[in-house]
Structure 1
Amino acid sequence: MNHLRSFWVTGASNGLGLALVRRLLEQGHRVAASGRGSTQLDELAAQHRSHLLLLAGHLHDEHQAASAAQQLRDAWRALDGLIINTGTTDYLSAEVANDAVFETIVTDNQLAAEHCLAGALPLLAQGHMPQVMMIFNRYSALQLHSPTRVAAGWNNLPQWSREQREALKERGIDLTVVAPQSLKAPLTTAKAVPQSWTAQSAASELLSRLVLREPELILETMDTASLWPMAR
């Protein structure tokens, strides 16, 4: 990335999302960050002031997501990049039973991704060489409902993301899907070996690949919690 750009990063309160925000700011870009409030984000906001915009609201709620997009529209009017970081959920209620946690992660992220992308599209249309990166892990990439069937947009979030590619391309927006290797439909015959990623090393690697605008990237980690700490 050779010039300063404007990014919206979701799931930014900790782990990989926070590391992405920090690295983008270090590179001099403007960043809008969505996520549960955190001391780290507040400290970054104090340090970077006009370069970091904290967006309030729960993105899985349609009205709150629309409000966040409007806040961004009022502040910047355009967006060059959207990074949807899934993997856990910042909004996991204590009332959710343990055996429903993973389904909640998938469904919350599905709604958040849909609402966030819808709100960002008008801004991306005004951006410079706009692009979207959607990041998943083994939890958010789970296939809900009819797990023996081929993955489709209605039961698998990475596949839903891929189904947006053609419509995004028509708008001049590139899409990169970052996910673990699918066991049902592997993207490559090479074995994807999990690595000891830290949030910082993964963020640096993903941002270095962003400029290449690759359609698919495989991300396998030995410790999911190091990139996506659970909220409970």
Structure 2
Amino acid sequence: MIQSDPDDLFDRPEVSVRPFEFDADVARVFPDMVRRSVPGYAELVGLSGLIARRVARSGTRCYDLGCSLGAVTRSILRQTGPDVVIVAVDNAPAMVDGLRVRLQDVPGADRVEAVCADIQAVAIEQASVVVLNLTLQFVPVTERLALLARIRGGLVPGGVLVLAEKMAVPDDRGGALLTALHEDFKRANGYSELAISRKRSALEQVLVPERIETHEQRIEDAGFAGHCRWFQSLNFVAWVAWT
């Protein structure tokens, strides 16, 4: 089990709320934070590895873009063969350092290339799987299509993009229910009202969610041959798109 300090970062009223950043403090508590904040996260990670097991081919690469501490990277590592290279990319040094620590003594970890860089600057080459797990939402909206098109261009025939995002919900009764249930989920996992409010304020400054329809149109505009939704838990949705 991956060790994590408890997430108490937003329970400190004496600390001013600033834009959310994947710094050393967040890296220290990230496994606890994501488990308590994202419904279905463990299943999302595990199934991403199973998609890679089905699709990844010998001699190709799998990319985990915005890898954080590498949960998806390790899931892919467990499910793919020795001739598949995994490129794990994050622009936060604390996250990449944490990933490298977590790969120590992991069988086959020499197949993982941990890269500290902007995902928009990393070449996508000979890829059979590219994962964007809760990452695209931090990329400026005007730059998202170009990123997906570049990923599409780097995929081998039969390759796939695995995209998971927090959704902007409709302004209706259903959307209100999803939002309320997500906050209930965080309360049930021990977050205080103060922490929920302060983290929301911090994320709103950097995370821009979009509607399901917007994502699916962008996938088509990027040149993918098709796509399907394979996961949803409350307002978190994942697709697989293929060449």
- Fold similarity call, TM over 0.5: no
Instruction: Specify the TM-score bucket, using the shorter chain as the normaliser.
Output: 0.3 to 0.5
Identify the structure with the greater strand proportion.
2
TM-score (structure 2 length as normaliser): 0.38
Decide which structure has the larger Cα Rg and report it: 2
